[in-house]
Amino acid sequence: MQALRSLLFAAVAGFAIAPSVASAAPSGIPTDGSVADTAEKVVDSVVTIATSATMKLSPEQQFFMQQMGGDDSALTQQAQGSGVIVTASGRVLTNAHVVADAEDIKVTLPGGTEVNAKVVGKDVHADLAVLQLQGKLPPLKPITFGDSSAMRLGDIVLAVGNGLGVGKSVSMGIISAKGLANLGIEEYEDFIQTDATINPGNSGGALVNLKGELIGINTAIASKSGGSQGIGFAIPTNMARPIMEALIKDGKFSRGYLGVNIGTVTPAMLKEVKLGASEGVVVGGIQPGGPAANTGLRMGDVVVGIAGKAVKTDQELRTAIAASKPGTAIDLDVVHQDGKKQTVKVKLGELPEETRTVRQPQMQRRHR
C-alpha cells in the first residue's frame, strides 16, 4: 500500500494536461458587423473594480521603513480588476482573488460613476465572488448568460475587461480548448482556454460569444513574461452560475465531501500495484470518521462510475462530488482489488474550508 500512496501523490502533484485543442482557426471572421454589434452590446455590462488593503509588513520591512523615516502604518496595497453586472439591482460577479483581503472596494460603472461595493459572498475554491453595489445607482445593464457547454473549438469569443488599467477594452480570439483541469490554479477547475488577449486587470471580466452572452469569467493566463501570450483561461458559466446563485442566496457555496484520497489510474501505477480495473479513480486512503468510512469502500478500490455515469479521472470524480450538495446520497460503482464489482452508497458531508489544497501556482492571475 505504501507504493500506492507514493504513486497517488505523484499523480496528484504532477502537472499534466490532456485537453482537446483546436487545430485550426475558424473559417473566417464575420464581416456583417456582428463583432462590433456584440462589443457594443456587452461593454456596458462590464465594470472596473479597484481595491485597497493595508499592507502587512515583515519586521525587516518595518525596520527599513523606520530607518527611511517613512510611516509604515499608512502603507496600502492597491489593485485593479474587472467584474460583470449580473442583476439590475447591482450584483456583480468577479474573481475571489480580485477582492481578496480588500478593505475598500470601489467600482467604476459605465459612464464613469464610481460607487462603493461590498462582498456578498466568496468561493475561494473556484475563485468566484459576488459584490453588491452601494448607494443610489444609475440604470444598469445586466449581462445575458449563455450555455458554455455549447461552445465549440474554434468559436469566436470576445474578452471584455480593464486590461492593464487602460479602461474597458475588447479583444477577440477563439475557443482554443475546453474542460482544462489539473493546472494548479484553483481547487476546482474546468477552464475554457482562449487566445483572446487577457492582461493584468482582466481578471473577473467577461468572455462572451457572438450573441453577446456570457460564457466565461476571465481568470488567469499562462505567461513567461507576465503579459498575454495567447493562452488565457476562463471559468465557464455553467460552473460559475450555480456558485453565483448560491453566493447571492446564502453567502457561500457548500460542496459535497467524500473524505477520500484519490488519483487517476495510470500505466505506471498498474505496473507497481495490482488493481481490479485498468481505468478509473483509485482510492489511496479513507479519512477515519469521514463520510466514506464504514461504507464498504476500501483502499485500493477503483471507482469507475458515480450515479451511473462513468468516471476516468480524479478531476472528474472530484468535480462531481463537489457539485453535489452535502447530505446527498450517491452511488459509487467500484471495482475491488480482487476484481469484484460493487455499488457503494455514500452520504456526502460538507467540504471543510481547511481541506483546500495548497498549490504552487503554475499560471499567473491577472489583476495585479
Distance CA 334, CA 304 (A): 6
Q: Which of 97, 148, 169, 176 is catalytic?
A: 97
293-322: b or e for each residue (b if 16 or more CB lie within 10 Å)? eebebeebbbbbbbeeeebebbbbbbbbbb
Say whether 259 sits in a helix, a strand or coil.
Answer: coil
Q: Which of 203, 228, 314, 324 is catalytic?
A: 203
- Residue that is written with C-alpha cell 460559475 in the block: 240
Distances (CA, A) of 28 to 174, 175, 236: 11, 14, 24
127 has catalytic annotation: yes
Distance CA 39, CA 46 (A): 11
Distance CA 235, CA 145 (A): 13
Looking at the chain, how many residues does it have? 368
235-260: b or e for each residue (b if 16 or more CB lie within 10 Å)? bbbbbbbebbebbbeeeebebbbbbb
27 has catalytic annotation: no
Q: Which of 45, 82, 125, 127 is catalytic?
A: 127
Determine how many CB atoms are found less than 10 A away from the CB of residue 329.
9
Distances (CA, A) of 361 to 183, 187, 194, 202: 8, 11, 19, 18
Beta strands in 68-190 (DSSP E): 76-85, 91-94, 104-108, 114-123, 128-133, 144-145, 156-161, 169-180
195 has catalytic annotation: no
Q: Which positions are annotated as active-site residues? A: 97, 127, 203
